[in-house]
A and B are shown apart, each in its own frame.
Chain A
Amino acid sequence: MSEKPHYVPPAYVPIPPKNAEVFTTACDYCIVACGYKVYRWPVGKDGDEKGNNAFDVTYPAMPMTGSWVSPNQHNVVTHNGKPYNVAIVGDKDTKVVNVGGDHSIRGGTIAKKCYNPDSDTRDRLLYPQVRVGGKLHRISWDDTMDIMAEVSKYVIEKKGKAGWGMKMFSYNFWENTHALTKLAFRGVDTPAWAVHDQPTGHGPDTPGMSDAGIDNFSASYEDWSKADVIMMVGTDPFEAKTIIFNQWILKGIRERGMRVISVVPRRTQGVAYAEQNNGMYLEINPGTDVLLLNAMARIIVENGWEDSEFVSKWINNKAERDKEVFQADGFEDFKDWILKYKYARLDIAAEKTGIPAEKIREAAEIIAKPNGDGTRKKTSFAIEKGLYWSNNYGNTAAVTALGLICGAGNRPGQVISRFGGHQRGMMPGGQYPEHAAPEKFPGWRKQGLDVDRWAEEGNLGFVWVIGTSWIQAMTASRRLEERLRRFTHQHSVQATRVDKQHLIDTYKRRVDEGGMMMVNQDIYPVEPINTELADLVLPASGWGEEDLTRANGERRIRLYSKFNDSPGESLPDWKIAAMFAQKMGYEGFDWKDSNEVFEDAAFYNKGRRTSYVALVEYARLHGRRAHEVLRDYGTTGIQGPIRWENNKLVGTARLHDSTLKTGTATGLTAIDPRWLRKFKTKTGRANLLKATWETFGDYWEFMKPKKDELWVTSGRINEIWQSGYDDQIRRPYLRQRWPDNWLEIHPDDAKARGIENGDMLEISHDQIPIEVGGYSHSEADRKLQGATPFRANADIDTTDELAQMVDPDHTSSRGISALSMDNADLTEPDELLSMVAPVEAKVVDKLKEPDTVSDPSQDLDDPLMNNLESGLGLRWGDVKPMLFSEMMKNGQIEMDSASFKAVALVTDNVKKGVTFTYFNVTTKGRSANSLAGRVNDPISQRPRYKIARGVVKKIGESDFKHSAEMMSFKSRAIKS
């Protein structure tokens, strides 16, 4: 056993002096975005422990005062070229989100994120580089932009706009995502665009919820403490949504006896605590949620436990379109259906989910059975990727229907919402040009372009990869990786010297010979995308290095202050996009700073849930910059949509809030869409959807473990953020905890395989289904590839009135007309109309299709319905060819093989037959995503990352098995 751990803390941490400068920001990691204060002071001018410090505290600081600076909360940064100390701590004064300065282990150590060449951040990308002879060489920004522009123009000319691709983060800051999407959509106008976790660039993440009329980020964090019962499906807020659990769910449990039902295959510290406090743990087999949820809904209607008052007032009593698969013709139709539907039977649910029937019945009773006096419990529903990255449409439809019949969705403490993953960073700068996407759909539908398959077929001549590992972040298929390598660094045409014209000529020649030029933009070396593949590697700046904005999972908008220099020649992404756009001759990219981007973007965003156009108008009226007005709101920020009422800016706590009271609108743009108080449908009432198993069951049966295979599902843990790019790899304290990927395995499964804690495992499979083709001109490819609801991407915020991504009211002079948000009458001539026109024409065609519209009185000009991304209106004839089994028959599926390595954690916290691993650690070998099939949901084209199985084999012992230096094998669900 070791005498020292890997990470040995220092003996002293500097304390900020009284005159330290203070900046407000929010954490850069999970959706919750806790408020932080950054104290900055020159090195050598520390405060002291006797009270001469920024906290006015005589040390030691007492517990719960938030005045302690731990060693991992300190760093030395560069500001104006000089060394400064920073202490970055949860804001002890905040009354929202992380009340009192609470924090996660991620945000709590965020000071170590700052660039400091004396730390493991020393490998930040500092200069633009070009790959010549297999190595990266420094090059000037100006040359990179010339090269990129020349090659881009060539590619667009030779291959068309769709030959120019962009694969980008949607988690980053608004200024950056706005500039990049503006470039892709309004500059290049390419459909070959997708965000980091999606193959296709559009459609809602939770389509069953959107089709029901519910915005998937409608809740406010306080709702999670105001319910009597919370049912959480496919999500565990203790892990990586930490403060939702710490500050809101714990509060509900402790202060009002709130009961928490967790539907996950894995028990964590949070699940165990809830279970101990009158909650339930429903240990579900991966992918079977719809069966559980339907069975619960059936039990509820069988017993008449539905909230009939709510149902009669808030549920649509007829389908908006005839003859379709999913939408019920009101509650009675839903009831008839679910009482008869085979896949709502309790016995089937119990068998497939692995949850005993009695527990399912008990859970149904807890969430819905009225109290003895006839009053109802307030029940809320939370979901996340465990639910929707599997049977995407079915599961999201089922949980929403269950929630609605329990009376949830539009009141405090009675909500249906995502908890969220990363922060809400997408700020669209244009409209996805789906008219240019080459795949077609049944009827009027068009499929968004699947950038992975598109690239694999050699259709890209140029691709710009921004802030994502691309390969591992998607399903990590070997096919994608092999093809991307073949078209880039393994292509026969390679540069031989760092010379601008030579490089331009080389990349053009490579394009002519079937290859492509790849540009990567990131903050660190990322294997293999920029260490091996990319021709140009551009250094971006990051959190704390620019004033930037973003919203969290309750739509709370904050300014993330700049407090240190961006290293080397790194630049903010918005600036890089603007430099390139100007080289390309595109207009509208002449921003001087990030505030100008922010103000500009407001007018594109004014119909969305994060609308802040009122803030910009308010700032302008007062002669101020919008960033500065937002800075005044500090860590509190303000919840979108931001309204300007009674001469004050007002935040919106929750959406669809039937209790909302608004004041008199001030300002030019009234922010008062109907969905602030009602559901987001034509009628303002919610749709009940019939969630089907048939659209997923064939895939589930195929993927179900056979013989000695185990489920290999994946998710997050608190200590690692995403790929671990700046914490697991670069923070000794966190690397010590998780030096490698890990696999939780049940003791019985471990014993059968001779596996002990700390053994190194290989997890593999050789029948991983991968959807292929679609973009060649083969006969098979001319067949249907799947149906994608159109326009927008999930991160462009689901069904959010997508036409307003390119707001018809927006004008280049950055002023706006006084049209209300809900009014899309295109009454004023506008420069954007010419671009929007073809799309609008298509929408009208769709709506004229007589047999799909049941109610001729519907307002066909309603922008909401025109732009609804939807499974509504689909008929079985449309759906059937898109099923996995049909695609198999049609030769659209190939089998891939993959494996990854992980250290064994033997624990009964995972259910027998199920293993659980981190989804995207890529430090050694492949990520767990590689075992997931690449077969998207037939309705929504969403990936099914959580559905994988594998053969688990011990290949030896890890370095950690007999050492106390790193990694712990203890239970992560210890009861109190």
Chain B
Amino acid sequence: MSSITETKTDKPCESRRNFLLAGATTFVMASMPGMASAANLLVKEYPRHKIGQISQLQTNKPMDFQFPLDNPISTFVLVKLGERAGAGVGKDKDIVAFSNLCTHMGGPLNGSYKSEHKAMGPCPLHLTTFDLTRHGMVIAGHATESLPQARLEVDGDDIYVTGIMGLIYGTQSNPMAWT
């Protein structure tokens, strides 16, 4: 399991600061009816975030990356499934990225990728599994949300995250919501 570090050009620190700020201010409003569109605005404001290169990826060799913040819950996995997936990118539409935290109780899914099933899990805590071909949907188990999926964009050989669908375990707001 290797980890991808952010490229210097994307100024990750600055991006993170923006993210935090947005989370604290704007998103209290998003709970109000009709205010959800505020979330969409931020997706545009938030710069895309490079997480890897297609040429580095091998099928079924997942790579973890720290995202979007410097905290223990900000851990994602990037994987080329070798099978077409919902919101997959790349030539074969099979490159996807997901949060590494189980949405049941926050168990760590790092390293649990199962190539035979294109799945994450079973979670070491209570055995929940997630289908990476279907937007991180729970296959079996207890999680009350799908595994948050990163929206990816490919530019040449570079892979960028431009949004996250779903709340990462432990968070109450998602400043780069992909809705």
Q: Which residues of A contact B (CB under 8 A)?
A: 1-5, 7-15, 43-44, 46, 48-50, 59-66, 68-73, 85, 102-105, 108-109, 118, 238, 242, 246, 250, 268-270, 273, 718-719, 733, 736-737, 964-965, 967-968, 970-976
Contact = CB atoms under 8 A, between A and B. Distances in A.
B139 A72 contact: no
B165 interface: yes
Contacts of A118: 33
Contacts of A85: 31
Contact of A269 (B127, B165, B174): B127
Nearest to B88: A1
A242 B31 contact: no
B122 A60 contact: no
Contacts of A4: 86-87, 135, 165
Interface string B15-45: 0000000011001101111001001000000
Nearest to B29: A12
Contacts of A14: 31, 172
Given A50-B24, A62-B72, A968-B134, A105 B36 contact: no
A60 B142 contact: no
Interface in B91-112: 93, 101, 103-108, 112
Given A9-B145, A246-B142, A964-B85, A70 B137 contact: no
Given A105-B144, A242-B142, A974-B129, A62 B106 contact: yes
B118 interface: yes
Interface residues of B, number: 65
Contacts of B106: 61-65, 68
Contacts of B166: 9, 71
B23 A49 contact: yes
A104 B101 CA distance: 17
Given A46-B31, A68-B169, A63 B140 contact: no
B169 A718 contact: no
B170 A62 contact: yes
Contact of B135 (A10, A44, A964): A964
A9 B114 contact: no
Given A9-B166, A63-B73, A964 B134 contact: yes
Contacts of A733: 144-146
B146 A49 contact: no
A70 B28 contact: no
In the complex, the 7 A-B pairs of residues with the closest C-beta atoms, listed nearest first: A63-B106, A964-B86, A11-B177, A11-B39, A60-B170, A12-B30, A108-B144
13 contacts: A1-B86, A3-B86, A3-B87, A5-B146, A9-B165, A12-B174, A60-B168, A63-B73, A102-B126, A105-B143, A733-B145, A964-B133, A968-B138
B23 A269 contact: no
Interface of B: 23-24, 27-28, 30-33, 36, 39, 71-73, 84-88, 93, 101, 103-108, 112, 114, 117-119, 121-122, 124-127, 129, 131, 133-135, 137-146, 165-175, 177, 179
Contacts of A10: 30, 36, 39, 177, 179
B142 A63 contact: no
Nearest to B74: A60
B121 to A, nearest CB: 7
B71 A60 contact: yes
A105 B31 contact: no
A914 B109 CA distance: 33
A273 B127 contact: yes
B108 to A, nearest CB: 7
A49 B172 contact: yes
A968 B117 CA distance: 11
Given A11-B167, A971-B139, 6 more contacts: A60-B168, A62-B73, A63-B106, A71-B166, A964-B85, A970-B139
Contacts of B133: 964, 968, 970
Contacts of B137: 5, 736-737, 968
Nearest to B20: A49
Main secondary structure of the interface of B (DSSP, over half): loop
Contact of A718 (B112, B117, B141, B145): B141
A250 B126 CA distance: 8
B119 A974 contact: yes
A974 B122 contact: yes
Q: Which of B33, B142, B169, B177 has the most CB of A within 10 A?
A: B142
Contact of A5 (B30, B124, B135, B170): B135
A44 B32 contact: yes
Contact of B104 (A13, A59, A108): A108
B108 A63 contact: yes
Given A964-B85, A974-B122, A5 B39 contact: no
A103 B142 contact: yes
A269 B122 contact: yes
Nearest to B84: A1
Given A12-B174, A49-B23, A108-B142, A5 B131 contact: no
B87 to A, nearest CB: 5
A618 to B, nearest CB: 37
B140 A13 contact: no
Contact of B165 (A8, A62, A66): A8
Nearest to B40: A11
B86 A974 contact: no
Contacts of B73: 60, 62-63
Contacts of A46: 28, 31
Given A9-B166, A71-B167, A238-B127, A972 B139 contact: yes
B134 A60 contact: no
A970 B141 contact: no
Contact of A15 (B39, B129, B172): B172
A597 B55 CA distance: 70
Contacts of A104: 142
Contacts of B169: 60, 63, 68
B155 to A, nearest CB: 18
Nearest to A44: B32
A970 B118 contact: yes
A273 to B, nearest CB: 6
Contact of A974 (B104, B126, B139): B139
B28 A970 contact: no
Given A64-B106, A970-B119, A70 B142 contact: no
Contacts of B127: 238, 269-270, 273, 976
A59 B105 CA distance: 15
B126 A63 contact: no
Nearest to A12: B30
B27 to A, nearest CB: 4
Contacts of A61: 106, 170
B172 A59 contact: yes
A41 to B, nearest CB: 12
B4 to A, nearest CB: 22
A11 B173 contact: yes
Contacts of B71: 60
A511 B76 CA distance: 67
Given A10-B36, A103-B142, A63 B105 contact: yes
A13 B167 contact: yes
B173 A269 contact: no
Given A2-B86, A3-B87, A63-B108, A49 B24 contact: yes
A70 B103 contact: yes
Contacts of A59: 170-172
A971 B27 CA distance: 38
